[in-house]
Amino acid sequence: MSSPLGSVRRPEHTGDRRCWPCTVANSLVLVAVSVAVAFVSRVAALAVLVLGAVAIAVRGYLVPYTPHFAPALGAVFPVDFHEEPGPSGSLGREADGEDVLAALVAADVIVADGETLYLTDEFRERWRREVAALRELADGRFVAAVADAAPRASGARVERRRGHTAVVVEPDTGSVTDERRLAYPVALAEVGAVRALAGRVSDPGIRAAAAEPLRRFLETCPSCEGRVEETTAQQCCGAPTNPREGPQAVLACADCGERLATL
């Protein structure tokens, strides 16, 4: 039986995905409006309060377009508006996908079965070992490994903000606009992949370019070893999605929630 609230329910903003700062902000607005209405009519104020509370409960928010303006509010007020980092950058620069795939097949990293591509067990194990070794490194040695794996990089640095760790690859051009920001688990996966490819794929540009497509083969999380599953990008208030494109299919860790690849 379909619920009468079914058509107004917004599962993407409620339940596990509810953004509490948005809920609190909307509740405060609702109380303020109800108090204002109470000067005119107490019955109307009660109706506003009840209807507003129902809307916040089933829709996740009341004020229209909260998911669109909340990130801007979050930047002004010292409230964590559940900032959802966008998709991570990658070590590699533009490369021909056919060349990368051909190199990976020739190196016995990937095998094709009809339309489906698989990672060889041997490469997966080698990659896993490299990632495990990188995870043990202190920041200084880790950023050296990142800079070493990234083509045309002069260095790298670790940045920690709001509980989110990113690795920034500094380009040899010295231009800030050429910097690439990788989420920490993505950096682990990509640098591990580049290192696992050493000795198998001779072109360092192809090794770096292969790192991003290889992330789609991850089965365990590079940072916590949790199970990787296919899901959709979180549509919280911090990350309004493009309504024309719909929710984006991503690979994310079932344990820590880190987004590991966009499908």
Site residues (CB under 5 A) for Zn ion?
Answer: 221, 224, 226, 253, 255-256
Residue among 85 and 226 whose Cβ is closer to Zn ion = 226
Give the nearest distance from C-beta 253 to Zn ion in angstroms: 3
Q: In angstroms, rounded to a whole number, what is the distance separating the alpha carbons of residues 153 and 10?
A: 44
> Any residues with CB less than 8 A from the CB of 11 and at least 6 apart, and which?
17
Residue among 170 and 190 whose Cβ is closer to Zn ion = 190
Token pair in block for residue 120? 């060889």
Give the nearest distance from C-beta 148 to Zn ion in angstroms: 24
Residue among 85 and 204 whose Cβ is closer to Zn ion = 85
Give the nearest distance from C-beta 146 to Zn ion in angstroms: 19
- Helix H or strand E encompassing 213: helix 204-214
181, 88 contact by CB (below 8 A): yes
**Listed residue (176, 147, 146, 143) closest to 158, CA to CA:** 143
Label the pairing between strands 164-171 and 180-183.
antiparallel
Q: How many helices (H) and strands (E) does the chain have?
A: 8, 8
Give the nearest distance from C-beta 214 to Zn ion in angstroms: 17
Token pair in block for residue 114? 């009809």
Residue among 36 and 256 whose Cβ is closer to Zn ion = 256
Give the nearest distance from C-beta 209 to Zn ion in angstroms: 25
Residue among 131 and 156 whose Cβ is closer to Zn ion = 131
